A and B are shown apart, each in its own frame.
Chain A
Amino acid sequence: MTEVMSAGATRRRLGSSTPSGAPEADLAALHAAALEIVGAARVRDDRTTARLHSYDASMEHGRPDLVVAPTDRVQLRALVAAATRHGVPYLARGAGTGYSGGALPARGGMVILTAGLDRILEVDVDEGRIRCEPGVVLATVHRLARDAGWLYPPDPSSHQVCTIGGTVAENAGGPHALGAGPTSHHVAAIDLVLPDGRVRTLHDQQAWDGGLDLRSVVIGSEGTLGIVESVTLRLMRGPVTERVVLASFDRQEDALGALTDVLAGGTVPSALDMLTGGFLPRRPDFADPSLLFVGLQGEPEEVAEQVRRVQSRTRAHRGRAEVLEVSAFLERRAILVREKVRRMVAASGAPRYYLFDAVAPRSRLADLMDVIRRAATRFDLPVLNTFHAGDGNVHPTPFYDPDDPGHAERLREFSTTVLRECRAFGGALSGEHGVGSEKRDLMPEFFAPRTLDVMHGVKTAFDPTGLCNPATTLPDLDAPRPTRCAAEAVRPPPGPPVAHVVDMLVEVTDARTTFADVEAALAGSPYELPYEPLGRTPDARVLSAVEDAAPGLRTDGVPRERDLVLGAVLSSPAGVTEVGGRVAKDVGGYELRKLVYGGRGRLGALDAVRLRLTPRPGDSRVFRSAPLSTADAVALCRVVYRAHLPIPYLGVLIGGNGEVLVTGRLETRGGSLGRHVDRLSALAPSARWTVDRGTDRWSDPVMRALGPGALAGSASPPWGDVDRLRLLGGQGAPAFASAGHRRTWWVGPLPDTSSSDELLAATIAAFGGCGT
């Protein structure tokens, strides 16, 4: 909204009813306040502007009363405070490329455009961090990260135009969410504007400081818990090598077979997408190949080995494989998708498509594909499916004629049928598009009343007025309970851990289950649980570690501890609450599952947890330097960290005897680490590295040094915490300054932060747990 609107052109619609139902006087007062805050040129209430902000990529609609375009964060805070003061609903909108109606004003009110909040606030090339405003385009972040040798993985199809704020609101994924996780894995901190205009910083270290990871709940909350005014992104090391295997199959079943074999064999590509052949219910003769797009990133040896495995599995299932450079693949994919869509249009005579998302566990993908075809036949809809197969995240795409008067109803019935089957398979309501207004009515079918109550409680904790993007995500509290309703969760009977290899998860239902028990359950499997709590032993209990927010040893190359939590069951006097489920990509409702990491009994007793597995490394070696001065160790740690070696963890270790050294591991999932050991040695020959083979991480120097007991810490990378390290060394206190955690750990009690934090207390109260 850069064009200036003259006062005469401002047509006020006062005197008529408002879409929000807000009293007209309140709306008028907010309008006047907005004019004061951002100026007349950036406030619109005309019919056309309202129309242009009443849709997104879904079929939903919601018409705003006011559209306001702030240019800085001070204006943003003032607008939110004014909306609250005048009792008018508000929400933020980025590029409007969402697929759920999540950024549409279901109840009118004020739409705040974030396009003018597009500043890059900080780029930390050393540590791989970018802090930016919400209106920054995702492609800009990709470019900045790449230019500095880093990678920001989330890559939804709209990445060229969607905004960081939008990706945070929807916890956006994309093809590379398979290997690297969705947006929530890559956001270190958020500055959230609360209803009164104050800003609250939520960061990923708070679970370790005695709080809860409230950041994780905001991500994916579809802008219903507040408006994000800045985001700090964690970047990953950029891959050394990247290839894509493009595999083509005559039959969809063969493509699914190859996919399942690849995963069951312990290869988890960085991306594994599928483009099914078109399915026309009335045209059994319509032959169309199915395609797999297998993205492989890593060290050259890893990628080469994975390429061979994928080629082999493709041939075994009667497919044809090509290996492509990424740039060539992207061109091919764009053409293939476009041609497939246009061919469907030509063959079906239906000019438009509707795209929605659903998730099933990978092991049920073939069943889900059958469901989609049966539903397509039942509703007589030609259907394509271009989706993230590795994550079980399907995008059924029925084609329809918008001039057909019954099309909306038919499409809704089709999508509801598919989604209900996903629920039966143990899937999720949405993998990456969100719930918004589109799937809101289905929330009670996917979540038990108790879980929905907790979500409502969280909403109230953040937004007591209920004005922040209302009627989105959560069904109304006073809505009549639908006939189909998820049953309340029950406490699972305790039993030994159960591993599900294709679904890449392990279920722990007994408080006595140890990490050794889990490893025993995974014996002979190509997967492992990538979680060794710092200072603990294999005899440590899994549920306790999760509840205590015990930091994991490994910080890079595998998901972080909290990101391993797929689902959990909590019990308290208020009842049994299930959070999350059994799939990695799950943005149905608020992401409560990560709160159990560091719940410390406050949300209820943790009865069960499902944790994600990752492929075992083929070669793993622990290394440590000779004793060094603190300053030299910190300097060496920084040099090694910046060398972009395949290091799952790295840090400066201070032993109980005051000895200081640099220690970490090298790991690869293909080929030998010999080359990397040589690189490490060449980096600092004077470090006199000791390098040992073996995957027994529990015996690594840092695990032995820290010992059992609670860990206290301070947030800073090793090179920012030299004085503290010297102090700890002088005290003879074992400590580990972890580069990946950006934190120094030592044995000690946690600070008590809960009593003074109203938001934290209100969130805990939402669970009806044991309180603070």
Chain B
Amino acid sequence: MSWIEDVRAELRRCTSCGLCLSACPTFDLRRAEGDSPRGRVHLIGDALLAPPDRTAAAHLAGCLECGACHDVCPTGVRVAIAQRAHRGATRRHDRAAFDRHVATPHAELAADPGAGLSVRAARDLLDGEAPPGSLPPLVARGWLLPVAGPMLRRAAPDLVARAVARLCANGSSVVDDPGLSADLERASGLLHDLGLCAEHEAALSRVEAAMRAHGTLTVVALDASVLRLRDQPLPDGLRVVAAHELFLLETGAIPDDAVQDVSLGRTALPELTRFGTTPATHLAAAAPVLLAAPALDALRRLVIDQRAWLAGRPLITTDARALVRFPHVVHVTALLGDRLRTERTP
């Protein structure tokens, strides 16, 4: 399907019931219809017919694309997917345009270290070595491919190195395919978020080609940003699993007053749920890099609220950006043990 058809497929399911409003962090902040998922569905629909005016563009640009509204929607409208598809249809940057674009919301980027980290990570992807033209030799014909994501590699390179070493030590058939890892990171959505659609699509094509050699493979996502691969049209045989869902965790050293932004299985920590008891959510985990000032401003305010809510308590996170946003943060990668939760076969 084309991008436009992707957008339409989402929008035509919306009944305008408004149940999504309570799940949306930007509606929670502003209580304005234009800053709600339902409002954005209507505005995207209008934008398919005519370019949005300034007001509509600002509302659309304020979406964090966190996907918090997806689960509550009775008919399964995915506003984040519609937003991305719409962006794919309407905005295609090259590298120069990206650099100009990054310069515009400079103040907002500076105000949120997490957003700054995202942009640096995107540059890493763009500036990295060119993907090889042909497949590299496989070091081991395994079934697990750890992928850290550019943000976690930026924020905690030592942590990534230790985790990968530990997973390899387990002997659980870990694949070493740097080219495929790099392409998976490029295809995870970050470049597409930035309007670099050609780079994104090229990476997807290379992933598809690489998978012909691998057959089946499980991507072990060390960071939440890599989990966004699940939203991409991946080839058959490639599945994406969060590392903490696959490997047992060593949680003994976690303080009793810690909170977590993801359910870590058997740990008895209080869960930092999206809208349960928290004044702000840790929604940024799933949100992409956004260069629009309204979204960056919303993120900044949510981060401030969340920092206040945390009140210095340790946070166990799956989001690399939290490492630079909050004090006393432990990325779940640091807790990974070397044993699988259950024995799995390819």
Contacts and interface: CB of A to CB of B under 8 A. Distances in A.
A23 B16 CA distance: 32
A3 B42 contact: no
Contact of A352 (B13, B19, B34, B71): B13
A548 to B, nearest CB: 44
Interface string A1-35: 11101000100000000000000000000000000
Nearest to B56: A48
A315 interface: no
Nearest to A399: B75
Interface stretch (A50-58, A274-282, A501-509, A637-645): A50-58
A647 B275 CA distance: 36
A68 to B, nearest CB: 13
Contacts of B21: 95, 97, 160-161
Interface stretch (B47-55, B163-171, B176-184, B314-322): B47-55
A51 B34 CA distance: 10
B15 interface: yes
A46 B56 CA distance: 10
Interface in B49-71: 52-56, 58-59, 71
Given A352-B12, A403-B12, A160 B17 contact: no
Contact of B74 (A58, A161, A338, A354): A338
Chain A contact residues, majority secondary structure:
loop
Contacts of A2: 30-32
Nearest to A9: B54
Interface string A179-202: 000000000000000000000000
Contacts of B56: 48
A161 B13 contact: no
B74 A52 contact: no
Nearest to B62: A3
B99 interface: no
Given A95-B18, A158-B19, A351 B39 contact: no
B43 interface: yes
Contact of B15 (A334, A338, A354): A354
Interface residues of B, number: 32
Given A1-B32, A2-B30, A97 B13 contact: no
B133 to A, nearest CB: 42
Contact of A48 (B17, B53, B74): B53
Size category of the A interface is 35 or more
Contact of A57 (B16, B27, B55): B16
Contact of B13 (A53, A139, A162, A351): A351
B75 A353 contact: yes
Interface string A139-158: 10000000000000000011
A52 B34 contact: yes
B59 A55 contact: no
A406 to B, nearest CB: 16
Contact of B76 (A52, A342, A402): A342
A525 interface: no
Contact of A49 (B16, B55, B71): B55
B13 to A, nearest CB: 5
B33 interface: yes
B39 A341 contact: no
Contacts of B15: 57, 352-355
B263 interface: no
B173 interface: no
A342 B43 CA distance: 24
Contacts of A1: 32
A345 B32 contact: no
A96 B18 contact: yes
Given A9-B55, A341-B74, A48 B34 contact: yes
Given A9-B55, A338-B74, A351-B75, A3 B18 contact: no
B293 to A, nearest CB: 11
Contact of B16 (A55, A334, A337, A345): A55
A307 interface: no
B227 to A, nearest CB: 21
A115 interface: yes
Contacts of A401: 12
B75 A342 contact: yes
A283 to B, nearest CB: 19
Interface in A245-269: none
B18 A158 contact: yes
Given A46-B53, A341-B74, A403-B12, A52 B33 contact: yes
A139 B19 CA distance: 13
B46 A51 contact: yes
A341 B77 CA distance: 12
A327 to B, nearest CB: 11
Contacts of B33: 52-53, 96
A270 to B, nearest CB: 23
Interface in A434-475: none
B42 A55 contact: yes
B14 interface: yes
B12 A51 contact: no
A52 B53 CA distance: 13
B22 interface: yes
Nearest to A118: B31
Contacts of A402: 12
A47 interface: yes
B42 A51 contact: yes
A49 B34 contact: yes
A3 B72 CA distance: 27
Contacts of B59: 48, 52
A354 B58 CA distance: 30
Interface string A188-231: 00000000000000000000000000000000000000000000
Nearest to B20: A161
A115 B55 contact: no
Which of A51, A158, A162, A402 has the most CB atoms of chain B within a 10 A radius of its CB?
A: A51
Interface in B197-244: none
A58 B21 CA distance: 16
A221 B15 CA distance: 25
Interface of A: 1-3, 5, 9, 44, 46-49, 51-53, 55-58, 95-97, 115, 139, 157-158, 160-162, 334, 337-338, 341-342, 345, 351-355, 401-403
Given A342-B75, A345-B76, A401-B12, 18 more contacts: A1-B32, A9-B55, A44-B55, A51-B42, A52-B34, A52-B59, A97-B18, A97-B19, A115-B32, A158-B18, A160-B21, A161-B19, A161-B27, A342-B76, A352-B12, A352-B13, A353-B75, A402-B12
5 tightest Cβ-Cβ pairs between the two chains A and B: A160-B22, A97-B18, A161-B22, A48-B55, A115-B31
29 contacts: A1-B32, A3-B30, A3-B32, A3-B58, A5-B55, A48-B43, A48-B46, A48-B52, A53-B33, A95-B18, A95-B21, A96-B18, A97-B17, A97-B18, A115-B31, A139-B22, A157-B19, A158-B18, A158-B19, A160-B19, A338-B71, A345-B13, A345-B76, A351-B12, A352-B12, A352-B13, A352-B75, A353-B15, A354-B15
